[in-house]
Structure 1
Amino acid sequence: MGGVGGVGAERGDDDEAGRAPGLAQLLLALQFTDSSFPSGMYTLSHGLEGLRQQGAVDSGSLPEVLHGILRHSAGPADATALALAWAATREHGPGGGGSEQGDVGPADPEQGSADHDSLLSALTRIDQRLHATRLAREFRDGATRTGKQVLDLAAELLEDPVVSVWNAHVRARRTPGSQSVVMGVVYARGGLAQRDAVAADLTALVVSLAGASLRLRLSDHRSAQALVRGAAPVIAEVADAAVSRSLEELGGFAPMLDLASCHHERADARLFAS
């Protein structure tokens, strides 16, 4: 499989063939948001099991709870971090300046090294701040475990130098490697627009929450799909807010979710790691 740097060329071929532009980017997003992608997210309920154990959610209140997770937890934290990582990758990455072509870097090796250092510094600031805002250990561990799994596989699949450099940085334990920061890098290098990248990742979260609700018997297969569809306007709302936030504004506030996670960590029986 060719590197992500070839996305721009593929898009040009699509235009000449009369097909819709952006197909390569769409296919990338579909693959990485698919529930079968081996990210490890199937092990996470994102706090839903803890809320269930505390009696804070039932089938009737499930949509409202999911929307609350998006607006007050995932949106200000994960989605914002992804948007910031996307922007940092476009600005500081090799061949930066917001190029839509996904250039892998300039011809000058010294310039490329300087670009990588600048990018790693920017991404590390985002990653460490996001990690520090997570009050519950389950959420911190879940985000970094899935992030490392996705990043390692993305480096293999995409053969992109920027993704590979970030993977080496994370594997060297110089930064936590949160999943949302990883996806910001992957989607930026893959040529997705910033808002589309945020929306794709939020959709993956909603699908994961819907799957958890099935296993927790909060929904059936039909109502789970209604849950996903009903979250679409909220995803759009949260994505719009995420792309407008600064690093200083990064961080969610969902105390009930954090408390439920603390209780869940010490529960006698659990289906999920979070």
Structure 2
Amino acid sequence: MNVPTASLLVALQHADGQFPSGGFAFSQGLEASSSLADRLGEFDFARFVEGQILYRWAESDRVALVRAHRLAGKLEEIAELDREVEASTFTEGLRAGSRRNGLALLTAHQRLGTAGAASYRALIRTGSACGHLAVVQGLLWRTLDLDEDTAVAMGGYQMVASLATAAVRLGVIGAIEAQAAIGRALPLIEAASAAPVADDEPLRSFTPLCEIAVALHGASGQRLFSN
């Protein structure tokens, strides 16, 4: 993939952890899985990340991002995809986190004046769209003229980086271990990204222990993250 310098710089800006997307409040099930290790089995961060890449991101979030990107700003069709993501995400904690992250990202882009952000946020306000993160990423990054491969790479990197940040905040690993874990995850993201995606590719995910942990975590009064 030969990305022009201007596009590479835009990608770096929008994939950066300092971009105001609101994702810091959500651990995507990592806190729940690590805190319930005594009930659900030994927790290993590297294995958790691998499972999230292979069994959730690769066949669900990545697919939603790609399909949204290909819809090229057709907001009604993107909203239909958004509702498909809602229906295919079975655990409320993960649904809520994805919607809140998507809305936070959309709000930041609306304030930046990104084309389409205000219009899609209006659809969310009326209940016509849900605002799931992967769908919003595909919509916005296409608007920024980032190609599909770049958008997918950004989505995969952000997912792993956010998990690493959450793990450091929880004290599961240290900062150097987090960077090592991200480095080990990059080839997995690259390999998963190579799988073809049809325009009507179904969304699939299978992370049952994580989903059980998130459901149990929802009843806990003491937690750092919302999921």
State whether TM-score is above 0.5.
yes
Matched, 1:219 2:173: yes
1:28 paired residue number: 10
Helix, strand or coil: the match of 2:71?
helix
* Cα shift at 1:53: 1.7
Matched, 1:39 2:21: yes
1:134 paired residue number: 89
- Indicate conservation of the 8 Å contact 1:76/1:251, yes or no: yes
- 1:37 counterpart letter in structure 2: F
Please, which runs of 5 or more residues in structure 1 have no aligned partner? 1-19, 94-118
- Pick the aligned partner of 1:262 from 190, 196, 215: 215
Matched, 1:148 2:130: no
2:61 paired residue number: 78
1:115 paired residue number: none
- 1:137 counterpart letter in structure 2: E
Distance 1:246 1:259 in 2: 31
- 1:23 counterpart letter in structure 2: T
* Cα shift at 1:84: 0.4
1:271 paired residue number: 224
- Pick the aligned partner of 1:175 from 126, 129, 137: 129
Distance 1:266 1:64 in 2: 25
* Aligned-CA RMSD value: 1.8
* Cα shift at 1:43: 0.8
Change (3 A) 1:271 1:129: same
- Indicate conservation of the 8 Å contact 1:79/1:201, yes or no: yes
- 2:35 counterpart letter in structure 1: Q
Alignment of 1:50-199 (within 5 A): 50-55=32-37, 56-58=41-43, 61-89=44-72, 93=73, 119-160=74-115, 162-199=116-153
* Cα shift at 1:85: 0.2
Distance 1:236 1:72 in 2: 15
TM-score by length of 1: 0.76
TM-score by length of 2: 0.91
Q: How many residues align?
A: 223
1:114-147 deviations in whole A, cap 9, x for unaligned? xxxxx12210121111111111111111111111
- Aligned sequence identity (%): 28
- 1:80 counterpart letter in structure 2: V
